[in-house]
């Protein structure tokens, strides 16, 4: 029986095919891993600093930003613990969050839930109710701002609010 020579030259086709396959996969991954930072308001945008400020209560909804926020909210898995209707699952539903919290509080809670749970009385009250500490989410400022815009949009629709 002929011995298989491990060094024998192999056809390049399987390698090429698997490269093609991998690049296809990477292409899909890119879409799934879509980030709002790809939008026009990336951190290097000249207005990035202004964008990060709390929006004025009567500021019109930035629809593009709200869309980015919605996608990020879903991609990041917030929905696993926070629904957007009247039901609580692991954590509180975030319906009406723009009415019960200030933006700066939301921002701190999403960026650093661990230190909020240690230091902030509202976060501690929530922990007493929900019993599970919200884990740190690894999101950045711009994405947090975009998710807030998404909540503003939802809350305006849900509560028929003008000027919020």
Please say which residue, 64 or 140, places its beta carbon nearer to ligand HEC: 140
Residues of this chain that bind ligand HEC (CB under 6 A): 76-78, 80-82, 90-92, 94, 97, 101, 106, 109-110, 113, 117, 123, 126-127, 130, 132-135, 137, 139, 147
d(CA 87, CA 67): 23
Smallest gap from residue 118 Cβ to ligand HEC (A): 11
Smallest gap from residue 48 Cβ to ligand HEC (A): 20
Please say which residue, 17 or 89, places its beta carbon nearer to ligand HEC: 89
Q: Environment class of residue 72 by beta-carbon count within 10 Å: exposed (0-12), middle (13-18) or buried (19+)?
A: buried
| The two three-digit tokens of residue 23, written as one number | 């690049």
Please say which residue, 51 or 126, places its beta carbon nearer to ligand HEC: 126
Please say which residue, 45 or 101, places its beta carbon nearer to ligand HEC: 101
d(CA 155, CA 153): 6
Smallest gap from residue 151 Cβ to ligand HEC (A): 8
Smallest gap from residue 109 Cβ to ligand HEC (A): 5
In contact, 164 and 54? CB cutoff 8 Å? no
Q: Environment class of residue 56 by beta-carbon count within 10 Å: exposed (0-12), middle (13-18) or buried (19+)?
A: exposed
Please say which residue, 36 or 91, places its beta carbon nearer to ligand HEC: 91
Smallest gap from residue 108 Cβ to ligand HEC (A): 9
Q: Which of 163, 113, 162, 106 is nearest to 138 (CA)?
A: 113
């Amino acid at each position: 029986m002929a011995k298989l020579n491990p060094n024998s030259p192999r056809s390049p086709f399987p390698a090429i095919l698997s490269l093609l396959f991998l690049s296809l996969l990477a292409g899909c991954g890119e879409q799934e891993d879509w980030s709002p930072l790809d939008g026009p308001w990336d951190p290097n945008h000249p207005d990035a600093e202004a964008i990060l400020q709390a929006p004025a209560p009567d500021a019109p909804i930035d629809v593009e930003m709200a869309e980015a926020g919605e996608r990020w909210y879903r991609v990041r898995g917030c929905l696993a613990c926070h629904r957007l209707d009247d039901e609580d699952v692991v954590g509180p539903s975030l319906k009406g969050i723009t009415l019960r919290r200030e933006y700066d509080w939301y921002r701190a809670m999403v960026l650093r839930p661990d230190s909020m749970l240690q230091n902030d009385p509202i976060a501690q009250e929530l922990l007493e109710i929900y019993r599970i500490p919200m884990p740190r989410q690894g999101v950045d400022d711009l994405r947090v701002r975009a998710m807030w815009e998404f909540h503003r949009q939802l809350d305006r629709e849900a509560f028929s609010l003008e000027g919020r």
